[in-house]
């Protein structure tokens, strides 16, 4: 029987309603699960979260909430086999690609569980030290941060149904803020199953964690003044969210992660045959193929010295030709499918558009699929395009194809490479591969202004570096401009979005009493 994905609001699983959406296996087209349309009881569910959920969470200390995160981590570990089965069926991912999502979620959750435990029994966080406001030093000012009075609404993208939930929910719950999650419907099954497992375990108080699986209609209408909203998705949808009355009139704090034309730069010193050159090729291929290129941090623009253009093209194409694509149930397949035929069509259209100004270096559309019907499966083999003179490129700096697609671009010199990276108009990440550490240090500062993360790889760290596209909880995730202007994670900085900063002006003795039940907010 097909699985119906119930909503969970007001501490209860909601009744099944008329089916509005069908989730399918993106390889076989088989029906997997169903969701309803617009959720019933949204306003009541949101109110329940703000009252019951927030009150119960904020009655606990930071240490107690951190302990709950650790218990959630144990639940996820106990059910991980089921999660891999769901990811394979609903996202069409190989086990290795499913791990990026599932194990990444567990790692991030456990990170915040351990980091939050350091706050112990504190119920308030001190931001900085007290500052005197009077000559006699008796009247002082102390900044504190306290949890927001509302809830946190998360509207997530389809590519990370597991990590997308917990990278947001972990710092929110640690902060004492109840969570309502709206996963992308097409891959909502894994998110809903994780929520169901946590609910069944009875770890969180009622109202602390809610989920809406079907339509997003009415979600923003139910937001109030002290709520916060975090969105991951397209720039077009982000623009609609920013214009919504809840954001404009109620000043709902909003975090946006949108489109990102991430780049990777091969240094001028990294000639063919050098370790830095080899690391670059390996990373480019990995970023093009991991999760079938469906990562917001994937390399879309590969910037290389013009004199190395042909060598990079040849080396990358040779590696891409070895990537087997098709049904992830087949042990010979290294890359599975996109999440849906709709996404398949979007990627095909994007490739055609980019091919209007770039030449095809490796055309994945000519590749034979393994155990997959090309008329049904949402499989797209990796495609590399190229423009030897990047100054002649236009669309490639403006249009992101969200799949296993990247464009090779030749640059003249180091300043030209930096300028081309900035033409992305704001990105989540850029990476640089070189053995010239002095130049790398200068480039890092030059690139930081338009990138949320600058990933620098020298041969020395070739084996230990975490990867261009991997989001680590200790580093911030987000980017300026086109990337949405948001910021998540970054260690304990991630708690900032879920707190309000206030200045407490009082006697030194009063502030000493406050400090006795507080901890310092450390980064």
Active site residues: 257, 296
Give the CA distances from residue 5 to residues 10, 19, 83, 84, 201, in Å, rounded to whole numbers and listed in that order: 16, 10, 15, 18, 18
> Contact 97/404 with Cβ under 8 angstroms?
no
Opening angle at CA 277, ends 422 and 454, nearest 5: 35
Three-state SS at 301: strand
Residue closest to 109 by CA, chosen among 60, 52, 61, 179? 179
Give the side-chain half-sphere CA count within 13 A for 108.
Answer: 30
Give, for 286, the enclosing helix (H) or strand (E). helix 275-289
Give the CA distances from residue 207 to residues 51, 57, 497, in Å, rounded to whole numbers and listed in that order: 8, 9, 20
> Contact 73/110 with Cβ under 8 angstroms?
yes
Give every CB contact of residue 489 below 8 A, 6+ residues apart in sequence: 108, 167, 171, 471, 472, 473, 474, 475, 476, 477
Taking the C-alpha atoms of residue 146 and residue 58, their distance in angstroms, rounded to an integer, is 10
Helix count and strand count (H, E) for the chain: 15, 23
Taking the C-alpha atoms of residue 228 and residue 244, their distance in angstroms, rounded to an integer, is 13
Three-state SS at 265: strand
Taking the C-alpha atoms of residue 339 and residue 171, their distance in angstroms, rounded to an integer, is 28
Taking the C-alpha atoms of residue 1 and residue 76, their distance in angstroms, rounded to an integer, is 25
Taking the C-alpha atoms of residue 469 and residue 299, their distance in angstroms, rounded to an integer, is 8
């Amino acid at each position: 029987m097909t699985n119906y994905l119930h909503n969970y609001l007001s501490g209860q699983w909601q009744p099944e309603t008329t089916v509005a959406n069908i989730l399918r296996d993106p390889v076989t087209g088989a029906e997997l699960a169903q969701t309803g349309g617009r959720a019933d009881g949204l306003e009541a569910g949101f109110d329940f979260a703000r009252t019951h959920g927030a009150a119960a969470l904020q009655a606990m200390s930071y240490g107690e909430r951190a302990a709950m995160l650790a218990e959630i981590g144990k639940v996820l570990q106990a059910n991980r086999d089921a999660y891999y089965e769901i990811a394979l069926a609903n996202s069409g991912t190989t086990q290795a690609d499913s791990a990026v999502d599932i194990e990444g979620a567990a790692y991030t959750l456990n990170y915040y569980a351990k980091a939050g435990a350091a706050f112990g029994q504190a119920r308030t966080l001190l931001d900085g030290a007290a500052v005197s406001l009077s000559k006699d030093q008796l009247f002082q000012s102390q900044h504190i941060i306290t949890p927001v009075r509302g809830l946190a609404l998360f509207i997530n993208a389809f590519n990370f149904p597991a990590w997308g939930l917990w990278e947001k929910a972990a710092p929110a719950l640690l902060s004492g803020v109840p969570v309502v999650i709206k996963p992308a419907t097409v891959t909502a099954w894994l998110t809903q199953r994780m929520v169901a497992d946590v609910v069944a375990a009875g770890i969180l108080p009622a109202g602390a964690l809610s989920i809406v699986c079907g339509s997003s209609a009415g979600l923003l209408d139910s937001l109030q003044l002290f709520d916060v909203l975090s969105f991951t998705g397209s720039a077009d949808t982000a623009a609609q969210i920013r214009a919504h009355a809840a954001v404009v009139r109620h000043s709902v704090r909003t975090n946006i992660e949108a489109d990102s034309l991430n780049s990777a730069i091969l240094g001028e010193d990294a000639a063919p045959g050098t370790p830095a050159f080899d690391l670059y090729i390996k990373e480019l291929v990995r970023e093009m193929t991991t999760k079938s290129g469906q990562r917001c941090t994937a390399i879309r623009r590969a910037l290389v010295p013009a004199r190395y253009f042909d060598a990079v093209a040849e080396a990358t194409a040779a590696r891409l030709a070895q990537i087997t694509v098709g049904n992830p149930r087949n042990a010979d397949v290294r890359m599975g499918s996109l999440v849906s035929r709709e996404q398949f069509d979007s990627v095909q259209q994007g490739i055609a558009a980019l091919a209007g100004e770039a030449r095809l270096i490796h055309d994945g559309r000519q590749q034979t699929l393994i155990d997959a019907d090309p008329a049904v499966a949402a499989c797209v083999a990796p495609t590399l395009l190229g423009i030897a003179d990047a100054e002649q490129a236009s669309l490639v700096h403006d249009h992101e194809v969200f799949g296993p697609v990247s464009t090779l671009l030749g640059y003249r010199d180091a300043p030209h490479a930096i300028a081309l990276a900035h033409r992305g108009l704001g990105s989540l990440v850029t990476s640089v591969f070189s053995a010239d550490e002095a130049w790398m240090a200068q480039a890092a500062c030059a690139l930081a202004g338009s990138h949320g993360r600058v990933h620098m790889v020298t041969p020395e760290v070739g084996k230990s570096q975490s990867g261009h596209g991997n989001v680590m909880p200790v580093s911030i995730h987000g980017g300026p401009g086109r990337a949405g202007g948001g910021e998540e994670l970054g260690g304990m900085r991630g708690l900032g979005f879920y707190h309000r900063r206030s200045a407490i002006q009082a006697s030194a003795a009063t502030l000493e009493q406050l400090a006795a039940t507080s901890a310092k907010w450390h980064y």
